[in-house]
């Protein structure tokens, strides 16, 4: 309850910051976009990880207002970067609870209109768990995609994945879970799994990105297996807005 009240107050007072983690074309080394990752900056406790407060926000329904705030911040900031000559795609995490909020599509349209960010420069990351209600989820994602927004399946391979339904999902990108990347450079099974995911993604005209890359050897193994987008500490940790801004200008 204490945490819950604190969180409610924090949402009212906007005690959050968005960090951005680069997404890299591992063949050319070029920056292609970034994932928006929220942090709670508590006046006394300092920075609190989303692992600690997102579950509470989900249980209490506060994720609806917090999620809208995060989306607006990320779109507004990305529009600024666009206007300064950086054509990047920003990826924002949506929790299952948000997918099933009734005005989700209108909320997203409003945020795009308000911020002026063209829809093709926004991607939403969802997890496989939403496909427990396959038809409902598919219909909602289809409406989002019709706006021109991209959809990515986060943590792919850890949840409700089945090759029988993936072909019909309105999804643009598969994000291979970090657990398969961790040992890819010395584990045949992880390599085989990544290779299979890449093959399926390609045949379905989907993009594929690896997350949790920490080592050059992992990059080499990913390249060998046809995965050419990546994200991880090797390239950069998630960066505060100012730091990401500096990173951008150096990268140019
Ligand atoms: O940024 P970090 O690696 O600490 O994130 C931890 C977890 O919190 C991840 O599972 C990530 O997806 C989740 N998370 C981070 N930012 C957001 C957000 O803006 N919305 C939602 N729903 N989850 C987020
Ligand atoms: O669940 P999701 O993929 O949205 O969460 C991203 C999380 O992964 C964030 O908490 C982010 O800080 C973390 N992360 C990003 N890159 C790396 C990495 O290279 N290694 C590890 N261990 N975590 C990472
Ligand atoms: Mn994510
Ligand atoms: Na993930």
Q: What pLDDT, on the 0 to 100 scale, is given for residue 160?
A: 67
- Which residue range(s) make up the domain with 160? 2-246
Rounded-to-integer distance, Cα 185 and Cα 181, Å: 8
In a domain, 252, yes or no: no
Q: What pLDDT, on the 0 to 100 scale, is given for residue 2?
A: 74
| Nearest residue (CA) to ligand 2, atom 22 | 212
Of 169 and 54, the structure prediction assigns the larger pLDDT to 54
Q: How many domains does the chain have?
A: 1
Average pLDDT, the chain: 95
| Nearest residue (CA) to ligand 1, atom 10 | 51
Rounded-to-integer distance, Cα 153 and Cα 201, Å: 11
Output the CA–CA distances (angstroms, integers) from residue 170 to 50, 137, 143, in the order listed: 27, 9, 9
Residue 138 corresponds to which tokens in the numbers above? 């598919």
- Of 150, 169, 136, the closest CA to residue 92 belongs to 150
Whether 89 shows a pLDDT value over 70: the answer reads: yes
In a domain, 251, yes or no: no
Task: Looking at the CA of 74, name the nearest ligand.
Answer: 1
Q: What pLDDT, on the 0 to 100 scale, is given for residue 155?
A: 92
Pairing of strands 46-48, 89-93: unpaired
Whether 161 shows a pLDDT value over 70: the answer reads: no
Ligand 2 neighbours by CB, cut-off 6 Å: 21, 37, 93, 154-155, 211-214, 232-233, 238
In a domain, 123, yes or no: yes
Question: What are the φ/ψ torsions at residue 36 (nearest 5 degrees)?
Answer: -85, 125
Summarize the confidence of residues 151-177 as an average pLDDT. 86
In a domain, 216, yes or no: yes
- Read off the pLDDT band of 130 (50, 70, 90): confident
In a domain, 96, yes or no: yes
pLDDT per residue as tens digits for the range 177-187 = 999 999 999 99
- Read off the pLDDT band of 252 (50, 70, 90): low
Whether 87 shows a pLDDT value over 60: the answer reads: yes
CATH number, domain of 201, equals 3.20.20.450
């Amino acid at each position: 309850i204490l945490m819950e009240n604190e969180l409610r107050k924090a949402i009212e007072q906007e005690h959050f910051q968005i960090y951005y983690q680069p997404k890299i074309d591992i063949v050319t080394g070029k920056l292609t976009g970034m994932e928006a990752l929220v942090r709670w900056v508590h006046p006394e406790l300092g920075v609190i990880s989303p692992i600690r407060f997102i579950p509470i926000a989900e249980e209490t329904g506060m994720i609806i207002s917090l999620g809208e705030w995060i989306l607006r911040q990320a779109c507004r900031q990305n529009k600024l970067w666009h206007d300064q000559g950086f054509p990047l795609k920003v990826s924002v995490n949506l929790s299952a609870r948000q997918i099933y909020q009734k005005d989700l599509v209108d909320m997203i349209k409003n945020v795009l209109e308000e911020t002026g960010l063209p829809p093709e420069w926004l991607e939403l990351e969802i997890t496989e768990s939403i496909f427990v209600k396959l038809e409902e989820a598919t219909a909602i994602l289809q409406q989002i995609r019709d706006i021109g927004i991209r959809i990515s399946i986060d943590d792919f391979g850890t949840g409700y994945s089945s090759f029988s339904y993936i072909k019909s999902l309105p999804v643009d990108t598969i994000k291979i879970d970090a657990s398969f990347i961790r040992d890819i450079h010395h584990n045949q099974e992880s390599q085989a799994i990544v290779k299979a995911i890449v093959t399926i993604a390609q045949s379905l005209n989907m993009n594929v990105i690896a997350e949790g890359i920490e080592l050059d050897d992992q990059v080499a193994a990913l390249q060998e297996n046809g995965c050419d987008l990546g994200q991880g500490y090797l390239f950069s940790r998630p960066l505060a807005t100012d730091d990401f801004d500096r990173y951008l200008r150096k990268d140019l």
